[in-house]
Structure 1
Amino acid sequence: MAKQPTIEEVAALAGVSRGTASRVINDAPYVSAAARAAVQRAVKELGYVPNQAARSLVTRRHDAVALVASEWDERLFYDPFFAEVVLGVNSALAESDLDLVLVVGTTERQRERFASRLRARAYDGLMLLSLHGVELLHSLVLASGVPAVFCGRPLGATPAHYVDSDNRGGARLAAEHLVGLGRRRIATITGSLDKQVGVDRHAGFADGLLAAGLSPSLVAEGNFSEASGAAAMASLLDAHPDLDAVFVAGDSMAVGALGVLRARGHSVPGDVAVVGFDDLPRAALTSPPMTTVRQEVRGLGAELARTLLGLMRGEEVQSLILPTSLVIRDSA
Structure 2
Amino acid sequence: MSIDELRGAVTIEEVAAAAGVSRSTVSRVVNGSTAVSPTALEAVNRAITELNYVPNRAARSLASRQTLAIALVVPEDTTRFFGDPFFAAVVSGINARISRSDYVLNLILANDDPRDKTTSYVRSGAVDGAVIVSHHTSDTFIDRIAASVPVVYGGRPVRERENDYYVDVDNVEGGRVATQHLIERGRRRIASITGPVTMPAGVDRLQGYRDALAAAGLEEVAVEDGNFTAEGGARALERMLEAGVEFDGLFVASDLMARGALATLARAGIRVPQDVGIVGFDDSPVATAVTPALTTVRQPSHEQGEHMASILLELLRGGRPQHVTMLATELIVRDSA
What TM-score do you get using the length of structure 1 for normalisation? 0.83
Distance 2:53 2:311 in 1: 34
Counterpart position of 1:59:
64
Residues 211-252 of structure 1 deviation map (CA, whole Å, 9 limit, x = unaligned):
111112411111101110011011112223421111000011
Say if 1:134 and 1:154, in contact at 8 Å, map to a contact too. Answer: no
Aligned equivalent of 1:290? 294
Structure 1 counterpart of 2:128, which letter? D
Among 122, 137, 150, the alignment partner of 1:147 is 150
Out of 95, 99, 102, the residue aligned to residue 94 of structure 1 is 99
Q: Percent identity?
A: 42
Q: Does 1:212 pair with 2:227?
A: no
CA drift of 1:73 comes to: 1.7
Distance 1:176 1:256 in 2: 22
Residue 208 of structure 1: how far off its partner (Å): 0.5
Matched, 1:329 2:309: no
Which residue identity does 2:125 align to in structure 1? R
Task: Work out whether residues 250 and 276 of structure 2, in 8 Å CA contact, stay in contact via their aligned partners in 1.
Answer: yes
For residues 103 and 71 of structure 2, the distance between their equivalents in structure 1, rounded to whole angstroms, comes to 10
Q: Match of 1:201?
A: 205
Distance 1:47 1:305, change over 3 A: closer
The verdict on how the C-alpha distance between 1:237 and 1:57 changes in structure 2, with shifts beyond 3 A counting, is same
The one-letter code sitting in structure 1 at the alignment partner of 2:190 is I
Counterparts of 1:253-268 in structure 2, within 5 Å, are 253-268=257-272
Displacement after TM superposition at 1:136 (Å): 2.1
The TM-score, its normalising length taken from structure 2, stands at 0.82
| Counterpart residue type for residue 96 of structure 2 | S
| Equivalent position to 2:303, from 295, 299, 320 | 299
Unaligned runs of 5+ in 1: 15-23, 28-40
- Which residue type is aligned with residue 320 of structure 1? T
One-letter code aligned to 2:155? G
Asked whether the equivalents of residues 189 and 221 of structure 2 are also in contact (C-alpha less than 8 Å), the reply is no
Q: Which residue pairs with 2:121 in the alignment?
A: 117
Residue in structure 2 matching 1:85, options 90, 97, 113: 90
| 3-state DSSP of counterpart to 2:331 | strand
Residue 2 (structure 1) shift? 7.0
Task: Please identify the structure whose Cα radius of gyration is greater.
Answer: 1
Change (3 A) 1:154 1:283: same
Match among 92, 108, 116 for residue 113 of structure 2: 108
Secondary structure in 1 matching 2:220: coil
Q: 2: CA distance between counterparts of 1:207 and 1:244?
A: 18
Distance (Å, rounded) in 2 between the aligned partners of 1:200 and 1:270: 29
